[in-house]
Amino acid sequence: MKKKTVVKVVAVLLTLCMAVVLGACGSSNKTQDEGTAQQTTQGAETSKPAEKVKINFPTYQVGNDGAAKWFAGFVERFNKKYEGKYEIVVEEVPGAQAFVEKLKMLNASNELPAVFDLGLDGTLASMIIKDNKIIDLKPYIDADSQWKSVLMDESVNYNTVDGKLVGAPAYLDTFSGIFYNKSLFEKAGVTEFPKTWDDFFATCDTLKKAGVTPIALQTNEDGWTSMLPMTAKLASTEEGVKFLYERFPKDFNKPYMVDAAAFLQKLFQYTTVDAIGANYAISANNFISEKAAMIANGPWMINTFNDTKTAPEGFAKKVGYSLWPGEIAHATVTRYGYAVSERFPKEVQEGAIEILKFMASPEEIRTDCVMNGRVAPKVPLTDEDKAKMDPLQVEVYGKVQNVKVPSPNYYYRWDTSVVNQALPKELPLLASGKITPEEFCKRLTETAQKFTESETK
C-alpha cells in the first residue's frame, strides 16, 4: 500500500475515532439516564405484566440524615411487600442542599425522577408545578379512603394548586422547637425553660453570668439555627404568623419583621464567638460539645444526640426539649409533599403512587413517628409504640401536643434567593451590628424582588 494511501486511511480512522469519542461524550449522560429510564420502565416496555417495575427514588434521607434509618427500613419493607411487582431503587444524594441542586439539574434537562420530594425548594417547586411536569394525585387519593382519612386538611389545601393535588399531602408533622442542656441550666441555677420572651432573655443573662454561652447560632448556609428563633419571635404576633403563611413574600419591610430581626440581633449577643460565619454543623457541634446551652431544631436531631460518633456518651440524657414562649413551634405541614413525575409510563406512575400510599399506611406512619419524633394527628400512637421511643422523643411527642401556634417554616415559604443567597450574606452584618434590622429587612426585600423583576423582563 502506498504511503499516501496509508496516511489517508489513518486520517479517516482518526477522524472516525474522534467523532465516536465526541459523540460518546455528548451522549454519555443520555445513555446513563436512558439506562435508568429503561430500568424504571422495565415493566412498561415488556408485554409481560408480571415483570417487576423498578422505581428510581432519589433521597437525601441517607448517611448522617436523622431519618436515614427509618427510610432504609421503609424501602426494605416496601420492596418485601411488593416483591415481584415493584422495587424501589434508592439513589442516595446526601444533604438536602445537594438534593435540591440535583433536582434543579434534572428539571432543566427534563429528567425528573419518578417520585421525589417536591417541597424542599419552594421556588423550584413552583416552576415544576407551573410547567405541568407532575401528575395530579387527587384521583388516586379520592379513590383510596384509607389514604384520604389520614391526611391533614391544612396540607391538602397547601398542596392543591388550581384544583390539582401537586404533592402528596402530609399525614404527619414535625415540630421544631428548642433543645436545651439541662446540666448547663442547672449549673446556672435555671430550673425551668422560660415561658415568656422576656424570661427567655433573662435566662440568657443568667446563663451568661454563670459562664455558660446561652445559645448556638449560625449565619452561613440558610441560617437555620438562627432563623428558627427569629421566625418563632415573628410568629408571636398575629400579623407575623400571617406573614409566615405568605408564599414567597416580596416585601419584608414590615414592623413585625423588623422587630423579629432586632430580636435576632440581640440574640447574637448570647452566642458563641464563631457563630458569625458558622454553618449548621458548627452550630450543632457547639451544642453537642456543650459549648452552648440551647439550640433551635427539630426532633430529627435526637438521633445525633444518641449517636456516640457525634455526641459524648450519655449526652441525650442531659437534653430537654421545649416549645418557644407562647407555645410556638415550627411546623412542616404547609409545604409541598412528594410528587410523581408525569414523564413516565402509567406502570411507573402507579408504582410511584403505591410507594406514597404505602408510606401513608397507619403502620408506616406509626413507625415514622416512633423513629423520627413526628406527630400524626389522625394516627395516634399506642402505648406499645411509645415504649419503643427514645425518652427525649417521648418528651418531644408530649410537648408538641400542646402547640398553640404551629408556625410555617421560612425555609419552605421564602424564595430560594432569600434563603440561600440573602441570608448567608446579610445575617453576618445584622449579627455584628453593621446593619440595622430595618436595613436587613430592606435587603431581603431587594433580593426577593429581584427575582420577580427578572421573571417579568
CA distance 199 to 190: 11
CA distance 241 to 254: 12
| Nearest-approach distance from CB 101 to another protein, in angstroms | 7
Tell me which residues in 60-119 interact with another protein (CB under 8 A).
101, 104, 107-108, 110
**Considering the rule CB under 8 A, would residue 56 count as an interface residue with another protein?**
no
**Considering the rule CB under 8 A, would residue 27 count as an interface residue with another protein?**
no
| Nearest-approach distance from CB 178 to another protein, in angstroms | 23
Q: What is residue 426's three-state secondary structure?
A: helix
Residue with cell 400512637: 381
**Considering the rule CB under 8 A, would residue 281 count as an interface residue with another protein?**
no
User: Are residues 110 and 33 in contact, defined by beta-carbon separation less than 8 angstroms?
Assistant: no
CA distance 378 to 428: 42
96 or 127: CB nearest another protein: 127
Stretch of 55-63, 151-159, 308-316, 425-433 contacting another protein, by CB under 8 A: 425-433
Which one of 79, 429, 436, 438 is in contact with another protein (CB under 8 A)? Answer: 429
Tell me which residues in 206-225 interact with another protein (CB under 8 A).
219-220
Tell me which residues in 316-335 interact with another protein (CB under 8 A).
none
User: 436 is written with which cell numbers?
Assistant: 440595622
Q: In 196-308, which ranges are E strands?
A: 294-297
Q: What is residue 180's three-state secondary structure?
A: strand
**Considering the rule CB under 8 A, would residue 14 count as an interface residue with another protein?**
yes
| Nearest-approach distance from CB 123 to another protein, in angstroms | 7
Cβ contacts of 88 within 8 Å, gap of 6 or more: 55, 57, 75, 78, 79, 355
Tell me which residues in 169-188 interact with another protein (CB under 8 A).
none
Helix 197-209, helix 255-267: angle, nearest 10: 20
Of 290, 287, 316, nearest to 303 by C-alpha is: 316
Radius of gyration of the CA atoms of the chain, in A: 25
| Nearest-approach distance from CB 248 to another protein, in angstroms | 12
25 or 143: CB nearest another protein: 25
User: 134 is written with which cell numbers?
Assistant: 407532575
**Considering the rule CB under 8 A, would residue 416 count as an interface residue with another protein?**
yes
**Considering the rule CB under 8 A, would residue 450 count as an interface residue with another protein?**
yes
User: 114 is written with which cell numbers?
Assistant: 419518578
* Contacts with another protein, residue ranges (CB under 8 A): 3-4, 7-8, 10-11, 14-15, 18, 22, 26, 101, 104, 107-108, 110, 123-124, 127, 131, 219-220, 272-274, 276-277, 415-417, 420-421, 424-426, 428-429, 432, 434-435, 450-451, 454-455, 457
